[in-house]
């Protein structure tokens, strides 16, 4: 997987991990090197201090001799309080005093690392100075040893470089493998998504088994594809059904025109029939526009369902008796216009199929408002209770009773209910049909909560 600048995420992650590992391991190596050198310096100081103590013993006891210096075998210089060299090892014979620095009166010894000793500039030594009282007076014993190199020896330096290199390479390898595995899954998901098209909407991305985060991503992508496929199938079905219904109306209109043309006297009757076809087409197109607009968010406000039902009942045509039993104060939150349209479609459906009576009841059930619309018509067979909510679906009795319906009223009403967090179903009824609309009641607002 390649980034915008042309380099892959895997490469960038690997280089970053190697850089961090190199910096950390180099810092650790330097720290260990310094600690090792410090340890070697302390060991050398102890060796030189031991030599100085042996020579001090000889001086105090009056047993010091040139043989004592040869026994030590190192660099030794003994200087009196006047700064004169009174004895020195063969390597320092004839050399002036290496340094004027000597232990203080409070402490008879000091240890140091010096690179500026007289006659030996540029060469670093570990120096131990021990002040001692000899029979001839006070003197200072200087014993010198080689200072360890800054890198604590060639072997150690080679081992440190090899270790840092190995750790950096190992970090790069592990990062490349760890990052590469999920990236391979992401690439597989990307390739599969690139193949999804309206012609083949059923493709799904692979779901990793051992990676919880990537599995969640893949499942979310697949769920989104499921919804898109469902929406595409509904759109195709809707388009096909609408085309079929409109084509039927246009065919009928064409037939009426031809019949009128063949019989001049039939123009008035043909005109009425053609007007019915045009009205049906207008109804279908209007309902299709309503369905297409339901996807857009509507304005939310408190809606008194009892008042809304009374308004819709008043506009129903005369001829069918409508009885209501409405609990006052049942308020829901939603789009007033869309809720009115849903009630109108359910009531119109009941009026079309009722023999003489439509009953409307409204009540509270817990946190929901429940509206029931009953009619005393033929009812809805159990097997068709979901079919009637399908777009353009019209049962045979409905077609025989009213040929002008669009078949979109109940689907629109259910869509409105779902968009408001509710349901619309056809339920059991002893006589006729019973439609139940359930909506959540308006949530009580706190004093400080703003009104949307």
Q: What angle do CA 310, 312, 317 make, to 5 degrees?
A: 115
Name the band, by pLDDT with cuts 50, 70 and 90, for residue 424.
Answer: very high
- pLDDT tens figures, 361-392: 999 999 999 999 999 888 888 888 888 888 76
So where are the chain's domains? 10-146, 299-440
d(CA 87, CA 67): 11
Burial 55-85 (b: 16+ CB within 10 A, else e): bbebbeeeebeeebbeebeebbbbbbeeeeb
Q: Which residues contact 383 (CB under 8 A, 6 or more apart)?
A: none
Q: Provide the 10 A C-beta neighbour count for residue 417.
A: 22
Name the band, by pLDDT with cuts 50, 70 and 90, for residue 311.
Answer: very high
Q: Which residues contact 147 (CB under 8 A, 6 or more apart)?
A: 41, 44, 113, 115, 124, 125, 126
What is residue 229's predicted lDDT score, i.e. its pLDDT? 78
What secondary structure does DSSP assign to 175-243, as a single string? HHHHHHHHHHHHHHHHHHHHH-BTTBTT------SS-HHHHHHHHHHHHHHHHHHHHHHHHHHHHHHHH
Of 204, 233, 234, 208, the residue nearest 221 (C-alpha): 204
- pLDDT tens figures, 106-125: 788 888 888 888 777 778 88
Higher pLDDT, 393 or 396: 393
Predicted TM-score (pTM) of the model is: 0.47
Architecture of domain 299-440: 2-Layer Sandwich (3.30)
In this structure, the chain runs to a length of 452
Please state, rounded to an integer, the average pLDDT across all residues of the chain: 79
Q: Provide the 10 A C-beta neighbour count for residue 377.
A: 22
Q: Is the pLDDT of residue 144 over 50?
A: yes
Q: Is the pLDDT of residue 447 over 50?
A: no
CATH 3.40.50.10900 is right for the domain spanning 10-146: no
- Longest pairwise C-alpha distance within the chain: 159
Q: Which residues contact 83 (CB under 8 A, 6 or more apart)?
A: 97, 100
Q: Which tokens sit at 98?
A: 């290496």
d(CA 353, CA 153): 103
Of 124, 147, 128, 145, the residue nearest 56 (C-alpha): 128
Phi, psi of 377 (to 5 degrees): -85, -150
What is residue 295's predicted lDDT score, i.e. its pLDDT? 58
Of 374, 317, 313, the residue nearest 340 (C-alpha): 313
Q: Is the pLDDT of residue 278 over 70?
A: no
């Amino acid at each position: 997987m390649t980034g915008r600048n042309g380099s892959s995420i895997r490469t960038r992650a690997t280089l970053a991990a190697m850089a961090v590992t190199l910096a950390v391991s180099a810092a650790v190596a330097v720290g260990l090197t310094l600690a090792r050198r410090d340890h070697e310096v302390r060991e050398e100081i102890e060796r030189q201090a031991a030599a100085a103590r042996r020579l001090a013993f000889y001086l105090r006891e009056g047993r010091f001799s040139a043989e004592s210096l040869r026994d030590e075998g190192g660099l030794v210089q003994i200087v009196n309080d006047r700064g004169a060299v009174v004895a020195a090892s063969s390597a320092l014979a004839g050399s002036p005093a290496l340094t004027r620095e000597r232990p203080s009166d409070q402490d008879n010894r000091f240890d140091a690392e010096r690179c500026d000793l007289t006659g030996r500039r540029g060469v670093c030594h570990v120096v131990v100075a021990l002040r001692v009282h000899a029979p001839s007076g006070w003197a200072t014993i200087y014993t010198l040893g080689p200072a360890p190199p800054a890198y604590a020896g060639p072997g150690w330096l080679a081992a440190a470089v090899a270790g840092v290199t190995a750790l950096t390479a190992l970090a790069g390898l592990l990062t490349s493998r760890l990052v590469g595995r999920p990236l391979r899954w992401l690439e597989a998901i990307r390739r599969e998504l690139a193949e999804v098209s309206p012609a083949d909407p059923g493709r799904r991305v692979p779901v990793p088994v051992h990676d919880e985060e990537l599995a969640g991503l893949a499942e979310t992508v697949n769920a989104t594809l499921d919804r898109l496929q469902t929406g595409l199938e509904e759109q195709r079905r809707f388009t096909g059904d609408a085309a079929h219904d409109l084509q039927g109306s246009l065919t009928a209109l064409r037939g009426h025109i031809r019949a009128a043309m063949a019989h001049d006297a039939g123009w008035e009757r043909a005109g009425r029939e053609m007007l019915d076809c045009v009205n049906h087409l207008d109804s279908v197109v209007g309902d299709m526009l309503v369905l297409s607009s339901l996807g857009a968010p509507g304005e939310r406000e408190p809606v008194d369902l009892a008042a809304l039902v009374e308004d819709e009942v008043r506009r129903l045509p005369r001829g069918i008796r409508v009885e209501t039993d409405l609990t006052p104060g049942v308020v829901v939150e939603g789009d007033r216009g869309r809720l009115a349209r849903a009630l109108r479609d359910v009531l119109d459906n009941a009026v079309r199929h009722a023999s003489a009576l439509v009953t409307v009841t409204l009540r509270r059930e817990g946190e929901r408002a429940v509206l029931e619309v009953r009619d005393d018509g033929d009812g809805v067979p159990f097997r068709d209770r979901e079919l009637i909510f399908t777009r353009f679906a019209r049962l045979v009795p409905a077609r025989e009773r009213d040929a002008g319906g669009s078949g979109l009223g109940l689907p629109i009403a259910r869509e409105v209910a779902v968009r408001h967090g509710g349901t619309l179903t056809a339920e059991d009824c002893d006589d006729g049909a019973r439609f139940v609309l359930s909506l959540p009641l308006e949530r009580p607002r706190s004093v400080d909560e703003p009104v949307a």
